[in-house]
Amino acid sequence: MTTHTVYPARPHTTGHTALAIPGTALEELRVTDDAGRPAEPFTAREDGVPQDAVGAPLRCCLREVRAGERVALVSYAPLRRWAAGTGAAPGAYDEQGPVFIHAEACGGPDGAAGRYPALRAGALRVLRRYNARGQIIGGRLLEVSEDAQAAFDAALAEAFADPDTALVHVRAVEYGCFHFEVRPVR
């Protein structure tokens, strides 16, 4: 029999926001990615040549790629980079995967775009909870509803109700791609 731990509600701040890849990491990724490969910038085109990037989520400014933009598809290890700054040791939970970023520095997230980036109703996301040691301590499947902001607010309130949750990674279910990170407001 499977049991689920229910955590008591903790005061929730409605200010949960998605965090883009930090600027220092972006500077490094634009040269060499987390798999040790040089970045290979290209211009996104609507016809998919050289690569179908238009509409893909950018992790530097948390919006979709537009035709004509210079972007790069790089390998990114978000938990490894977080752990390096905190002293955590995620061990086998460390993973890396592809993300799109602007090839040159951009203005970062658009504050008027909402708290969570590029969400379409029906998209499937998994919210993975990590503790301060960098270990996965739970996850939740979320089908994005028409009111994506409210759906994410509720799912994140649930995630951070567990006092052991240090951060949450949001990933696409279909490809496992990292979309953004959320940390609690304490």
Question: Cis peptide before 184, with omega less than 30 degrees from 0?
Answer: no
- Which segment of 33-37, 70-74, 129-133, 180-184 scores lowest on mean pLDDT? 180-184
Query: Does any domain span residue 10?
Result: no
CA-wise closest residue to 101 among 41, 36, 55: 41
- Domain carrying residue 108: 23-182
Cα distances from 72 to residues 40, 121, 141, 176, in angstroms, run 6, 27, 28, 18
Q: Walk across the sheet containing 42-43 and list its strands.
A: 42-43, 70-76, 97-102
State how far the Cα of 136 lies from the Cα of 132, in Å rounded to an integer: 10
What pLDDT does residue 177 have?
A: 85
Residues forming beta bridges with residue 74, ordered by sequence position: 99
Query: Does any domain span residue 14?
Result: no
What dihedral angle (degrees, nearest 10) is formed by the CA atoms of 67, 108, 124, 94?
120
Query: Does any domain span residue 28?
Result: yes
- What letter represents residue 20's amino acid? A
What are 53's two structure tokens? Answer: 């990037």
Number of H helices, E strands in the chain: 3, 7
Query: Does any domain span residue 7?
Result: no
State how far the Cα of 113 lies from the Cα of 128, in Å rounded to an integer: 23
Confidence of residue 112 (pLDDT cuts 50, 70, 90): low
- What letter represents residue 126's amino acid? V
Query: Does any domain span residue 46?
Result: yes
Largest CA distance in the chain: 53
Residue 74 CB-density burial (10 A; 0-12 exposed, 13-18 middle, 19+ buried): buried
Q: pLDDT tens, 11-46?
A: 334 546 788 999 999 999 999 999 999 999 999 987
Query: Does any domain span residue 104?
Result: yes
Query: Does any domain span residue 3?
Result: no
Q: pLDDT tens, 39-70?
A: 999 999 877 655 668 888 899 998 889 999 99
Query: Does any domain span residue 88?
Result: yes
- Look at the chain and report how many structural domains it folds into: 1
